[in-house]
Structure 1
Amino acid sequence: MLALDSYVALGDSFTEGMDDPAPDGTYVGWADRLAAMISSRQRGFRYANLAIRGKLLQEIVDEQVPLAVALKPQLVTFCGGGNDLLVPGSDPDALAEVYEIAVAELRAAGCEVVIFTGFDTRNTPLLRSLRSRVAVYNSHLWSVAQRYHCRVVDLWSMQVLHDRRAWSEDRLHLSSEGHRRVALRVAEVLGLEVAEDWNAPWPPLAVEADWMTQRRHDLKWAREHVVPWIARQLRGESMGDGIAPKRPELLPVVGEG
């Protein structure tokens, strides 16, 4: 494992931690969980999380990357582009060019960089059509990682996340257990020894929903989560409007997580 003294997390809702609620009404998420793991093993460790829900890739690059460079952390995790790929007609090739510029800037600042592929959407209704765009984007990210010597967390290959219990009710954000498993996977990529296995099988479901019940759930999900998301996009609004980063400074994390 790297001897880490500082870590900055960049991204959107995935890295902010939705939907992994904390007792105070904020979100925990895989990045906070990872920081707690590192802090328990590394004296003097400090952590900042600049991620904000709803951010597009260019916004992350413009608003968060310069702050991360100024903080000069040893480690940066960088995940972005998922919200862009949800927009009809988005171009994964153009997105990858923006992503690479940001990675080059972070590496030039001396940061170790961990990047993330996109999730495999094959088991999510309405998002299944995005699968080919995500796959193209992922191919670019692997190439970027190779060129700039970045570590990669391959979310696409994490079949354990295909279980619906890994996702919150909106099916767009991980559940608390999904975040916990991603944190363990990132720890593994960093070489951090942990006692738990991110790939441990899920316990059997007590009752499997029949086809008709599942279709009713799908329609309810589309009405309550997908339609409002589309409406926000048409109005040019974001879930992150008016929200500040939950942890904008490098601070110790002792006692957290």
Structure 2
Amino acid sequence: METHATYTSFVAVGDSFTEGMSDRLPDGSYRGWADVLAGRLAAREPGFRYANLAVRGKLIGQIVSEQVGPAAEMRADVVTLVGGLNDALRPRCDMGRVRGLLEEAVARLAPACGTLVLMRSPGRRGPVMERFRPRMEELIAHVDALAAAYGAQVVDLYGAPVLGDPRLWAADRLHLTGEGHRRVAEAVWQTLGLAAEEDWRAGLPPGALPGWSARRAADLRFARQHLGPWIGRRLTGRSSGDGLPAKRPGLLPYEPPPGRGAGVPGGA
């Protein structure tokens, strides 16, 4: 059931998931679920303002030190926070430190906004994710506990089987496709108490599975183009987001990206 809530501003905090990889725009930049959600909220409220502080590759410590303070100062109606998964996917990870930093972020953001939204991150089915699944589920349990303690909302993406479908994941197997991001935007939309426009949990239509040779070729491309460079950055302490600014650092009136609609279902 739709509430009559009014949202005039939205700030997104996080890493590549919230930046919008791999929902690429014609100019090479990324859109993603947060931009889609902002477009839909802006269509309801003249003068709607939006900031997206997320930067790919950021660890939870960087999110806390670089994004949480500015986000809290913006005093937005809605703040979304997704972080910690980049830490959990590293070979060595102090999950106790991750949990502490995530709680620090929630404790600072919850009283500084109207509604704080956390997420149980989606997990692609496959062997790479299986290795890190215990850490991921530990992080999810902590998100649930923080939401209960601080009055935040939780979007359960992990509990939606469709978001584990490999067809909703890009070639790097780490980021959602445009369709995956669109479904996440609908999930957050509904969590905010707004009327559902679709069933974002609905499964994809059955499709023919690729043969063994095609799957092995895809695995080799993935290892060469994505997995190898990802491991190299982990070993050298580098990040894909080093030196990159936030995509929308200021809380400014929303304007749709050139050549794309505001993010409503069925838009170009």
Deviation at 1:164, TM superposition (A): 1.6
User: What is aligned with 1:253?
Assistant: 254
Gaps of 5+ in 1: none
TM-score w.r.t. length of structure 2: 0.90
User: What is aligned with 1:163?
Assistant: 165
Equivalence map 1:7-46=2 (5 Å): 7-46=10-49
SS of the equivalent of 1:195 reads coil
TM-score w.r.t. length of structure 1: 0.94
Deviation at 1:110, TM superposition (A): 3.8
User: What is aligned with 1:201?
Assistant: 203
Check the 8 A contact 2:16/2:55 in 1, yes or no.
yes
User: What is aligned with 2:106?
Assistant: 103
Determine the C-alpha separation between the residues in 1 that align with 2:19 and 2:242.
Answer: 14
Q: Which amino acid aligns with 1:15?
A: T
CA deviations over 1:119-145 (Å, ceiling 9, x no partner) = 335x22222110111111111110000
CA deviations over 1:129-184 (Å, ceiling 9, x no partner) = 10111111111110000000100011210111122221111010000000001111
Determine the C-alpha separation between the residues in 2 that align with 1:124 and 1:84.
Answer: 19
User: What is aligned with 1:219?
Assistant: 220
User: What is aligned with 2:143?
Assistant: 141
Give the root-mean-square deviation of aligned CA atoms. Answer: 1.5
* Identity in percent: 46
- Equivalent pairs, count: 255
Distance 1:186 1:235, change over 3 A: same
Determine the C-alpha separation between the residues in 1 that align with 2:211 and 2:227.
Answer: 23
Q: Which amino acid aligns with 2:60?
A: L
User: What is aligned with 1:234?
Assistant: 235
Check the 8 A contact 1:93/1:137 in 2, yes or no.
no
Distance 1:215 1:125, change over 3 A: farther
Check the 8 A contact 1:92/1:134 in 2, yes or no.
no
Determine the C-alpha separation between the residues in 2 that align with 1:15 and 1:100.
Answer: 19
Please tell me whether residue 50 in structure 1 is matched to residue 20 in structure 2: no
SS of the equivalent of 1:7 reads strand
Deviation at 1:196, TM superposition (A): 2.1
Please tell me whether residue 4 in structure 1 is matched to residue 14 in structure 2: no
Q: Which amino acid aligns with 2:192?
A: L
Deviation at 1:23, TM superposition (A): 2.1
